Chains A and B, each alone.
Chain A
Amino acid sequence: MSPDAATDAATAPSIITAEGAGPHQTDVTIIGAGPCGLFAVFELGLLDLKCHLVDILDRPGGQCAELYPEKPIYDIPAVPVCTGQELTDRLMEQVAPFSPVFHLSQMAEKLEKLEDGTWRLTTDTGTVIDSKVIVIAAGGGSFVPKKPPIPGIDAYEGSSVFYAVRKMEQFRGKKLIVAGGGDSALDWVLNLQPLAESVTLVHRRDEFRAAPDSVNKMRALVAEKKMTLEIAQISGLEGENGQLTGVVFKDKERGEWSVPCDMLLPFYGLTMKLGPVAEFGLNLEQNLIPVDTEKFETSTSGIFAIGDINTYPGKLKLILSGFHEAALMSQAAVRIVHPDKKIRFQYTTSSTDLQQKLGVA
């Protein structure tokens, strides 16, 4: 985490995370904690619906937090300019009165309908959430590590090539090559160096985006000959039966050469993949979920889709469109959760009832 990000986290509203695997009971389960998922918490909250959110990132904000936290956004109504992180922080402040529960660093994996009509969502870490309504606000899909387009790399994934570190012990005594120049690459170089037989960091240029402190520590290890830094790029892999024996580096001056290696850890940032949502049976069109424009409901009753992940005639992938979709979806969702309740439409400006929910009356 960069020093900036640490500061942001300190000033952001506190996040309620779930304890235990559940089954958790709530009114609405939202897949995706980006701006649209967060604003859905607000609109649903005004209608007294409680929400749990699932997101693969370790913090709320979706693309705003991961892709462009520092970039300005100019097309949020009545907010002439704010950054992706500011938008996230303000939404978190706006939804705080409704105490949404977050399940972070998890991917929504399985969706099934129980006998009484309840939806049961299971994540890849085993969390179970039961609710009457599902809202898919998953944007461009789950953020997952970029897999380098190196020929034959698939054969080594999971045995010799790893895009994340789950158990450090598995790297003990191994010859490791770590690729990349950001915080993930540098953090794992520093963490794994003490237990690996050898560590080589390979990066395309002698400049690093990672936190300066990590870069200094890495350079100190190189100076002490406790690890190797290669300014080069990966051009091929050597090995057989899923076991790497070497990685081929190349650069303009030196050409190509091979470095012995047991395990390769590439860290080239994240990319978005639709993932298991594609298996939810929602009649996808080009990886998007078709919805109506009255309720933003999918082909399956009780499952809604809002934000970048849905499609309908005239769809624009704008945050403000997702906000609108969240409001209309909520009106339909409350009728599913409370079919017998008469729903009153109210304004926050004048309704004491809404103002009490927001904690301002």
Chain B
Amino acid sequence: MILNVTTPDGERHALEALEGWRVMEVIRDWGLPIVAECGGACSCATCHVYVDADWLDRLPPRSEEEEAKLDEAFDVRGTSRLSCQILMREELDGLHVTLAPMPR
């Protein structure tokens, strides 16, 4: 399955993804610039992405924990998600996300 990722420089990448991998892990595995410093524990907000609006209703809603952790992200929008909290599965084949601005 494919995960489409647009990087901050505006380039779009089609990444081969595996079922059950976190979106963050796919992005990191392909070497795109994502900080993801806590490694997927929903503890750092440095894997913040914007999900294409078309895909939003196919994702499980934000958990309370994810919502709270987004407080530490920047430019949070309705389409904001922490990419460590989205697992790739059949229905998400073709998902498109854009990397959000990262803290320095």
A contacts, CB < 8 Å to B: 63, 67-68, 71, 140, 146-150, 180-182, 203-205, 207, 209, 233, 235, 252, 268-269, 271-272, 317
Q: Which residues of B contact A140 (CB under 8 A)?
A: 37
Binary contact readout B8-48 vs A (1 if CB under 8 angstroms, 0 otherwise): 00000000000000000000000000010111010111100
Q: Are B37 and A149 in contact (CB under 8 A)?
A: no
B56 proximal to A (CB < 8 A):
no
Candidates A63, A67, A148, A181; contact of B74 at CB < 8 Å: A148
- Given contacts A68-B38, A271-B46, are A149 and B71 in contact (CB under 8 A)? no
* Cα-based distance from A287 to B29 in the complex (angstroms): 18
Contact-residue bracket for chain B: 20 to 34
> Closest CB of chain A to B102's CB: distance in Å?
6
> Closest CB of chain A to B73's CB: distance in Å?
8
Interface pairs A-B: 6 shortest CB-CB: A146-B103, A149-B101, A269-B72, A147-B104, A67-B43, A181-B71
* Cα-based distance from A272 to B38 in the complex (angstroms): 10
Question: Which partner residue on chain A sits nearest B102 by CB separation?
Answer: A149
Q: Which residues of B contact A182 (CB under 8 A)?
A: 71-72
B interface secondary structure, majority: loop
Candidates A207, A233, A317; contact of B76 at CB < 8 Å: A233
- Given contacts A146-B103, A149-B102, A180-B71, are A67 and B76 in contact (CB under 8 A)? no
Candidates B37, B75, B76; contact of A271 at CB < 8 Å: B37
Q: Are B103 and A149 in contact (CB under 8 A)?
A: yes
* Cα-based distance from A203 to B74 in the complex (angstroms): 11
Q: Which residues of A contact B97 (CB under 8 A)?
A: none
Q: A149-B101, A180-B72, A268-B73 are in contact. List 17 more A-B contacts (CB 8 A).
A: A67-B44, A71-B41, A71-B43, A147-B103, A149-B74, A149-B102, A205-B67, A205-B71, A207-B68, A235-B75, A252-B78, A268-B45, A268-B71, A268-B103, A269-B44, A271-B44, A272-B37
> Closest CB of chain B to A316's CB: distance in Å?
12
Q: In this complex, which of A181, A204, A235 has the most chain B Cβ atoms within 10 angstroms of its Cβ?
A: A204
* Cα-based distance from A271 to B73 in the complex (angstroms): 11
B70 proximal to A (CB < 8 A):
yes
Q: Which residues of B contact A149 (CB under 8 A)?
A: 74-75, 101-104
Q: Which residues of A contact B71 (CB under 8 A)?
A: 180-182, 203-205, 209, 268
* Cα-based distance from A94 to B39 in the complex (angstroms): 27
Question: Which partner residue on chain A sits nearest B35 by CB separation?
Answer: A271
Q: Which residues of B contact A148 (CB under 8 A)?
A: 74, 103
* Cα-based distance from A207 to B69 in the complex (angstroms): 12
Q: Are B72 and A146 in contact (CB under 8 A)?
A: yes
* Cα-based distance from A68 to B44 in the complex (angstroms): 9
> Closest CB of chain B to A53's CB: distance in Å?
22
Candidates B45, B67, B101; contact of A269 at CB < 8 Å: B45
Q: Are A271 and B70 in contact (CB under 8 A)?
A: no
* Cα-based distance from A252 to B72 in the complex (angstroms): 19
The 19 sampled A-B contact pairs (Cβ below 8 Å) are: A63-B38, A67-B41, A68-B38, A146-B72, A146-B104, A148-B103, A149-B102, A150-B74, A181-B71, A182-B71, A204-B71, A209-B71, A233-B75, A252-B78, A268-B72, A268-B103, A271-B35, A271-B44, A271-B46
Q: Which residues of B contact A203 (CB under 8 A)?
A: 71
Q: Which residues of B contact A317 (CB under 8 A)?
A: 39
Q: Which residues of B contact A67 (CB under 8 A)?
A: 38, 41, 43-44
* Cα-based distance from A241 to B91 in the complex (angstroms): 52
Question: Which partner residue on chain B sits nearest A269 by CB separation?
Answer: B72
* Cα-based distance from A233 to B78 in the complex (angstroms): 13
Q: In this complex, which of B44, B71, B73 has the most chain A Cβ atoms within 10 angstroms of its Cβ?
A: B71
Q: Which residues of A contact B39 (CB under 8 A)?
A: 317
Binary contact readout B65-92 vs A (1 if CB under 8 angstroms, 0 otherwise): 0011011111110100000000000000
